[in-house]
Structure formats: C-alpha cells, structure tokens
Structure 1
C-alpha cells in the first residue's frame, strides 16, 4: 500500500470555497492575486472580487474559489456571511507585526467559534520577507500553544507574496483540508484513528481478504492497490511495506501477510505524516463519504409505499442473518452476548441498536444473551421502522446482494381483507387502555419478563405515528375496576368511529370477540399472544361496526384492522401511555409508540 499520490476526488465535493480573513494590512489581497496570477501585484485594491484559481493548480483538479474580505467594522456583517459560507478559512497575520499574530487567538479564532463556523482553518503568516531575522522564532514554537487551544487549525505556514515563497501551498493545504479532512479520521489529542474510521477500514480489509485467512497476501495487497490507486505494487514495494510495519509492530505481519492490525497501523502512519489523501482515496473507492458512511449510491433507494403497507426482510436476507448469527456465536451457546453482538456491528459506523427504540427491545436469556429469534426480531423491527437504515447495516455487516433484494413491501391491507388472509410476517399491534389497566404487564409477558408488584408508569415519548400502520388494536382494561372498563370501551368506540357508546355489551354490539380474561400476576395469559396473531393473520374477521360507521362509512379509513378486548383480572400494571406491540409470528420483542396524532382522549400520564 504505497499510496500512489492523490488521484481521488471527494464524492461529495465538486468545488471548494476558501475565505481569506485577518487584520487589515496582513497581506490578504496580495496573497490571493499572487496565487491566481503567479505575479506580485503592483497595485492592490482594498478588497478583491471572488477569484477562481486555475483548475490544474492542484492534483485533485477541483475548482477553487477564493473570497477576499475586509476587516473594517462597517463590513463586519458581510464578513460573517462569507465566513458562514466557507468550506475552509485562511487566517492571515503579518510576520513583521507580532500584534496581528496575537489577534488570531484573542479575536479571529474565537470569532469563528462564535459564528459557529466549523470548517478547517489554515493559518498563513504573510510578508515573511519583511520579518526581522534578529527576532525570529520557530513557527512550531509560536503556533503550538495556539493549535493546542484551537483544534480546528489544520496547518500553519509562512509565506511571501513578494518573493513567491509558499504561496500555492497556502491554498493547496486549504483545499486538501476540505477534500481530505483530518477530523473524521484522526483524534489529534489521542493521536489515534477515530472509531468510525477503524470500523470502515476493518470492513474494507475484510472485503479485500478474499481467502478469509485474516491477512492480506501479496496478491491481495496488489489487488487492493490496483483498485484504489490504479497501479500495481512492485514486489520490492510489497516487501518494503511489510518491513515498515514489522519493524514498528511485529504483530502487524505474519506468514500469511499483512494483518488487520498492520493495515490499521499503516493508515495511522499515513495520517500522522500528513498523507490523509491516501486513506481518503481508499475510503472513497469503497463508497464512503466525508461522514465515513456509505454514500447514497451504495444504499437502498427510498421505498414508495402507502401508509397501510409495511416493509419486511426477504427470505434471502433472513438466511444471510442466520449465517451471521452462527458465525458470531463464538461460544456456540445459541445466543449473542454483548461482546459478540458488538463484533457483529464492528464494521458498521456504530451499533444501530445501542439506543431507543432498539435497545432492550428483544428478549434475552438469563445471561443477557440475544437469541436467534431475538436477533431476527431486532432486524425485523429496524426494517419495519427504517428499511433504508436496516439495509445499510446489512451491507456494513457483509450482505453482498443487491440492496433491493433484502426487503419487500407487503401488499395493502384491503387486499389482505379481500383474500381473507395476511401475507405479512410482522404485525403492528397498538395497545390502548386507561392508566393502570395492565398494558405493560401484557407486553412484558410476550418477551418473558416477570410480573412486578411495583407500579412504574411509562411516560417517555418513544415514537409518533398514525393508526394507518396498525394491523391489530388491543384494548386493555382492569376487570376489578368498573371505571377502567368504561374508559376502555370509550377508547374502543372513539378509535372505531369517533362515536359514543358505553357498556359491557359494546363488544357484541360491534361484532367483535368478548373480552379475554388474563392475569399477569398469576401468569395466566389465556394464549393471548397466539390469539392476537391469529386475528392479525385473518384481517377480514373481528372488524368492529358502529351505528355511525354504518351511516357515514367513515370507519373504512380507520378500521381496516382487527380489534380485541383484553380483560386484566388484577391491578398489576406498569404502563401509562398508548403503546404498540410489533409482533412477529413468535413473541420476540415489543416497541412502544405514542399515538399523539389520533385525537383520541385517553389517559397518557
């Protein structure tokens, strides 16, 4: 991996806008004119118009526009606007005026932070030819404290427009900082590759390790070099690369070739030596953007579907995930522990399940391991909620098929009703009920969680959506509390038709099944999970009908789903807001949803 120079262009940057700022008289305009015209100007206007640098001035051949600015108070607003539009900022000071150097840390750099200008900064010491050599100090000695305080500074350079010293280099470093930024790759303080960079490089290493022996052989290294830099490695170059690694990191090379540790070491070395373009070339050749995520052209296009259609994994994707589970279940105990699960996503930018709504959404064994059913259920949930994210992570962990082959859009619910059967493998079940009706206990039972005597109201807002996503609605009430039943029936009627009706006979009046008695405390669930799934599988049954619905037909929009009433026999509840259960054909997980858009008057405390 010799690098081969910079031939890569950012897959997201088509031009670079560099804004030059600094105190009056520090040489801003002379710097720009000399770079563009390759000649020192005899007469310099106060502020130059936008200046385009020659496209062939730098290897990346990305157009560069340089913006001159005035530091006068009356132009402060325009200066702020230009800085906010910058891709990079060049801050100038005059080498013969020490006060202008001090102003960088007392005014200019704090001003950039105040304006929230979060772009690379190049510090250019102009008028080098005028500096008093009697008072000369090293640039590193002067700038080191400032760079420690202001990490946004990429490079410091001294130059002279009059003597043509390092003028093109100022703008080369500014352009390079935009096209090949340091921040996403390297932690300057810790002097290590950033986690997301490590994860991307690990994925690239695995993709290039064709024989899966944990090392890049000479042939694999050469293939990698050709793919990334369009030029083969000579045998002597391969020997040289491995020698460099082995001298500094013995475990970076073994008999089969360059190890992952050695591969990462090389990239850290390139970056430390200022050759960020080498690592960026590699990342971009494998489809990564400046956020070190795969670009949109590598991923699934947005899926068009109606509100009553959902997205599920295909059998091809499920089989791939079964293989992934088996591969990473290192101890063979039929579950992925925390370390094994982290390893699954070690080639993704981060684990997609570390936060809500996925964290703790699936059942785990007594040791905290995620079963195969739970693993597949988490993927089903992610595919249901965010299919593009789901497929993106499938690709990160090694799915090699066409992205569109990983998911399918289910047919519309009205077609399911006509055919009297649903073709879905994942159902969304919204659970309604008043406070302390037993909703949480019911949901916890689906994933094998124990009943708790402690009442813990759930008050966080997890998700907002509409009833169109609902395949089956469950209404829960506490059978020991008459007011709980009355409120549950009110909710049922309101959701069904926006009409008004109360009384126990509401179930029969609306043509749905009578309340099903269960007890979370006693562990008697009356086969409720299977009954919910069965109702969802046959969406033409148990659809409520109201008087208002008969006359206005408004229920066609809201009621193309099955409903049932669950009677909880003891006051053993935990949940205190509307929730939904996402059901696979086996009980693996549930997920909460707030139904804020419904206009349903329910207790959401």
Structure 2
C-alpha cells in the first residue's frame, strides 16, 4: 500500500496455524507481561504512538485459523500494511505449513505487503535439538522475497516480544523492497537515481564531490544534528578502505555517497536512507510527493497547459549542458544522463517514444527536445512538472506552466494566444496520415504500408513567415477509433485544428473522408466545440481519380472551408501544410465546417433572434404609445 504522504498509522495482521501463540503474543506486547487467560481471538489491539521511536501507532489484528473464518481473514489480510506469520518453536509442522500454505496463500490473492516470520514459544523448544534460525529460514527467504525479517520470541519469558511489532512497523515505514535488490545485493535503479539527484542538490559548488562543509549541511538538513569532525573522519575512512574511488581531494564522490547508503541498508539501517529520501520530498514509490507538486491543473475541457517562456529557456540551458559533443543533438546516452535524476526516463514509451525530431544517428534535436516537453505538458502536466523538478528546475513550481484561455473565448476574440497547436489527423486506412505525421519530424518516407491501430503523436517547432514559432502536435486518430472518440461530448474540446487526409488517387478514400468530415463537423455543432478544419489531398504524385477536383471543390464550398491542400510526402512537396495548419489555428473563428443540419439550425437561431428583435421593437413602440396616450389623457382631464 504505497502512501504519498507521511503515514499516521500501521495496521498489522497476525496469522498462522492454530495453537502457535498468536493471541498470547499480541496480549503480551500490549500489556508487557504474560497474560494468564487469553481469549481465542483478541479484538483489535492498539500500541500507542510513543511505543516505538518512529512515533506512529500500530493496530494489531488477531485472526482465527478456523476454516469457517477464512473469508474474514482474507478481508483483513487485504487491508494489512504488514503481516506477521507465526509458527510454534516446539511444533516443526507449524513451520512447514508457512511455506506449504500461508506464504503461497498470501501470493494467491496478490498481497504485496512485507511479511515478518515469527517463531513463538521459544521457551518450549527442545534444547536437545538446537537449530540455527538462519539455517532454517535462509532457503525459505530465498524463495519468498516478501519475508522482511525472521525472529523468535517467547511471550511467557518476555523474550523479544516488542521487537516483533517493531520490525513489522519498520518494514512498513522503512520498506526494503523499493530501495534494495536482495537477490543482486545492490541498490535499485530508482533509489540510485533519487540519491544522485540529492547528491547534486547538496553539491552546491558543483565540483562533483561533497566537501566536509557540504556533508555537514546535508546532515543538519536530514537529521537536525551536525557531524562531529571525528565522525567525518570515520565515514571517510570506511569509504577509503572499501571503495577508494568513493573519495577524492575535494571530498565524498557520488560513488562514495551511494556506497554509504548501500552499507546502511545492508546493516538494517533503512531508516537512515528513508529519512534522507523523505527530507527531499520522496514518497514510498521513490517519486516526489504530491505536496512537492502543489499545483492543481484544474481546467475546462477546452483549455490546455503550456510551458512558460522561462521554462522553455531553462530547458534550452539543460539541453546545451548535456549536449557534451556540441553536435546540436542529444544522443541516447546524453538523454539518459539528463534524466538520470528522474525515477525513469519519461520518454521511453508511447506516446512520447519517437514523437520528436531525431538526427541520422538517433539523437534528438533541440526542436525535438522542446517539442517532447510540450507534448508531455499537454498530455500530462503533473508528470511534466515533476520531471522539470527532477532535472533541476528550481523556480516556483506554480509559475513553470500556464493554462491557456478557453477556446470559445479565442473564437469570440477571433485570435488565439496559444503557442502549442494540437491538431487531430483523421482519415481512412492507407490515406497517408502516418506519412504526414512522420514528415513533421523529418522521418524519411517509406513505401511499404503498415496500418496504424493505436493513436500516435508527433511534435515539432514550426517557423512561420512572420518570424513567429509555434509547436505543432499532430495526433493521428485511426479510422476504427473515431466512433469511440466521438462518444464523448468533450471529444473535440482539446483540438485546435482537425485535418482530414484522403488518398487523392482513390475515390473510395475520398468518400470515407467526407463521411468522417461530416461526422466530426456534426459532433462539433452538437457539442459546441466546432473546430477549424482542413482537407489534405495526399499522394499528389499519383494520378487523381477522375472527378477529384470537382468533388473537393464542391464539398469545400458547401461546408465553408478552404479547398483541399495537395501534398506528396514521397516527393517532399508538402505545400506548407504545417504552416497552414498553424494559420488555421490562429483564426479559430474561421474554417469551421457547417453541415446542412447545423446550417438550418443556425438560420433558425438567426430567424428567432431577428423575430425577437422585431417583437422587442414592437413592444417598445407599444410602451411609447401607452405613455403618449396617458400624457394626452391626463392633459385632457386637467383641461376638462
């Protein structure tokens, strides 16, 4: 159960075979004495906050082993933060039932919580057959990695009873699994990345090492206490002996810093590393906590999120810092390095992978880099903000991104202030949609056709004639996805321009595209989110179907949009199609297609409005007439 903030309680369920001493263990921990008469199943028992150093109360849930109570036990186990599994030291069969029944059972209903294995009744063990706990438990712990700790205790002799629930609490508050790979005996990648970011933040003079003064400052920030000179010498001696590259003339290197944390964890001092991570804002999943990203991106469906000018400038600086070979592109290794302080590289998967402009060697250009950020900001602003902070953005998070004006206001004002244009690309199969998306990011044309079944994106900066630059994001919507998309009222709210692509050599492609155009236009009219639309006649290098031009001209005229733009991606003749998409977005009140139904509704509305005007003028005339009549009547009465 991952918690984003600070935990206020820990819930521990105790389970195991009948007669293994579960209830006696709980009662003994709560009363700090051996109870004489223990009921078969205890009610929930609470250990107060001051019971353990972490000052977090522990609620312990006892359980019955009987078969008829199995449903209740499963429910409790699902709500648990940790599970204590008991066996009796004097009954070897109860130990074997842990790995034949209890541990597989926990896995069966996908419990992901830490497990503490506890041998109860230590005082009753047969001393003629001494056994090492480590020898017995080692193979079981190899097989069941969820086991955090094994411990033996005796409620009757008061041996290691409070320790049982201390380990259970510690396993929840300071879990091993996110930090350390038990099998490989190494820190996990996400933990390394977080510690690297913390190291960089603490290395204030940016010389690649933590000096004594920086180490001391780090210690005060995390543990509210300075390091004594002798302690600094001691820490350095350990590093020097075990890993010489962990130190240099300037102080403790990143290698040394990571080594120390691995050492703490191996020695069971996980709370040290967790204290450091939490001081720097990390949650149980080693991601920044929600309170470190306090910005709410609440917005209307027709508003979008963009980076501010200062954020773009910050990212330009980051790009040049990591472009080590100054070739104007970030190679894969440079990009990995740039994101090595984030939980993972955010662009390794769809929809970001391959959405930006790359050079021949697979490196991402500056335009591609900024466009990927613009795309992530548009689709997932919280993730974008978190990653800005991971890569070193130190400004106020609230001013890193901004929310655009509503689209209906843009239409009213007949202009838009948006720097990012989001364009939906519609069209039937094999119309040439993907080729247009690829040409936006300079990807070479491929003759062999593969059908696109998933939505995909490309994004790039487009320079315009007036010298302004905007980022264009193309979102390809496969034909079979259109119905699903349009089933939502807000389907077109996020769209600045809709482009309808057809194969100009294929009459059937044209027919399907006009059907799509009418369907989308109708949805826009009904939802109030009508969008500027453009027709694109793709494959202009092939012979057009006979009536191609007349059909296109007729539909454009009837629906009130521009004539189709002929393009040939194969011949690289794009007819400034991307500039024209941006131009359409800049005049959000124009090029919105009208259907017959929409037009008659509009005419009807205009007729009603005109009639109301006539009625109100008529009503005003009546009012004026009445006033004149009253004035005349009162004068007549006065003279009479």
TM-score, normalized by length of structure 1? 0.88
Task: Tell me the secondary structure at the aligned position of residue 469 of structure 1.
Answer: coil
Instruction: Please name the residue that 2:392 is paired with.
Output: 398
CA distance in 2 between partners of 1:545 and 1:141 (Å): 79
- 2:5·2:290 contact (CA, 8 Å) conserved in 1? no
1:166 is aligned to 2:160: yes
TM-superposed CA distance for 1:545, in Å, is: 3.0
Paired position in structure 1 for 2:263 = 269
Shift of 1:10: 8.9
Task: Tell me which moved more, 180-189 or 485-494.
Answer: 485-494
* Residue 506 of structure 2 is aligned to residue 481 of structure 1: yes
CA RMSD of aligned residues (A): 1.8
Correspondent of 2:114 among 111, 116, 120: 120
Mapping for residues 130-145 of structure 1, pairs under 5 Å: 130-145=124-139
Aligned: 1:514 with 2:508: no
Counterpart-to-counterpart distance in 2, 1:95 and 1:469:
65
2: CA distance, partners of 1:356 / 1:55:
45
The answer to whether residue 147 in structure 2 is matched with residue 153 in structure 1 is yes
User: How far is 1:416 from its partner?
Assistant: 1.9
Give, in angstroms, the shift of residue 553 of structure 1.
4.0
Instruction: Give the total of aligned pairs.
Output: 546
Question: Which has more helix, going by share of residues?
Answer: 2
Aligned-pair CA distance for 1:527: 1.5
CA radius of gyration, larger in: 2
- Cα distance in 2 for residues equivalent to 1:443 and 1:247: 56
Map of 1:561-580 to 2, 5 A cutoff?
none
Q: Does 1:258 align with 2:307?
A: no
Match for 2:369 among 375, 380, 403? 375
Q: Say whether the 8 Å CA contact 2:21–2:120 is kept in structure 1.
A: yes
Asked whether 1:536 is paired with 2:585, we answer yes
Cα separation, 2, equivalents of 1:380 and 1:369? 18
1:97 to 91, 96, 100: 91
Residue 461 of structure 1, CA deviation: 4.7
Offset, 1:555? 13
**How much does 1:274 deviate?**
0.2
Offset of residue 120 of structure 1: 0.8
Instruction: From 328, 342, 360, give the equivalent of 2:354.
Output: 360
- Name whichever of 189-198 and 301-310 sits farther off: 301-310
- Displacement of 1:510 after TM fit? 2.2
How many Å apart are 1:296 and its aligned residue?
0.3
Residues 1:538 and 1:327: Cα distance change in structure 2 (over 3 Å)? same
| 2:551 aligned with 1:526 | no
Please name the residue that 1:321 is paired with: 315
Task: Specify the alignment match of 1:180 in structure 2.
Answer: 174
CA distance in 1, matches of 2:162, 2:387: 42
How big is the shift at 1:511? 2.2
Counterpart in the other structure of 1:347: 341
Which whole-Å deviations, capped at 9, do the CAs of 1:502-552 have from their partners, x for residues lacking one?
943110122221112121222211121111111111222222233322222
Question: Where do residues 286-301 of structure 1 align in structure 2 (5 Å cutoff)?
Answer: 286-301=280-295
Rounded Cα–Cα distance in structure 1 between residues aligned with 2:253 and 2:511: 67
C-alpha displacement at 1:174, in angstroms? 0.6
Displacement of 1:554 in angstroms is 11
Q: Aligned partners of 2:577, 2:49: CA distance in 1, in Å?
A: 70
Q: Distance in 2 between matches of 1:20 and 1:36?
A: 14
Check the 8 A contact 1:496/1:555 in 2, yes or no: no
Distance (whole Å) between structure 1 residues aligned to residue 508 and residue 24 of structure 2:
82
- Contact 2:51 2:57 survives alignment (8 Å): no
Look up the match of 2:518: 493
Show the counterpart of 1:224. Answer: 218
Instruction: Give 1:338's match in structure 2, choosing from 323, 332, 338.
Output: 332
Can you give the 5+ residue segments of structure 1 that lack an aligned partner in the other structure? 1-8, 557-605
SS at match of 1:358: coil
Q: What is the CA-CA distance between 1:108 and the residue it aligns to?
A: 1.1
The SS at the match of 2:86 is strand
Q: Does 1:470 align with 2:495?
A: yes
Out of 542-551 and 23-32, give the one that drifted further: 542-551
Residues 235, 554 of structure 1: alpha-carbon distance in 2 compared, 3 angstrom cutoff: farther
Quote how far apart the aligned CAs of 1:305 are.
1.5
Contact kept in structure 2, 1:434 and 1:488, CA below 8 Å: yes
**Can you list the C-alpha shifts for 1:426-459, whole angstroms capped at 9, x where unaligned?**
1111122222222222222211122222111112
1:542-561 paired onto structure 2 within 5 Å: 542-553=591-602
1:210 to 204, 209, 215: 204
1:359-393: CA deviation from partner (whole Å, max 9, x where unpaired): 00011001111000000000000000011110010
Shift of the 124–475 alpha-carbon distance from structure 1 to 2, 3 Å rule, reads same
d(CA) in 2 for partners of 1:290, 1:147: 23
Q: Deviations over 1:2-27 (max 9, x none)?
A: xxxxxxx9943210111111111111
Which of structures 1 and 2 has the larger relative contact order (alpha carbons within 8 angstroms, sep 6+)?
A: 1
User: Given the superposition, is the C-alpha separation of residues 554 and 409 from structure 1 closer, same or farther in structure 2, using an over 3 Å criterion?
Assistant: farther
| TM-score normalised by L of structure 2 | 0.83
Q: Give 1:391-430 correspondences, 5 Å limit.
A: 391-430=385-424
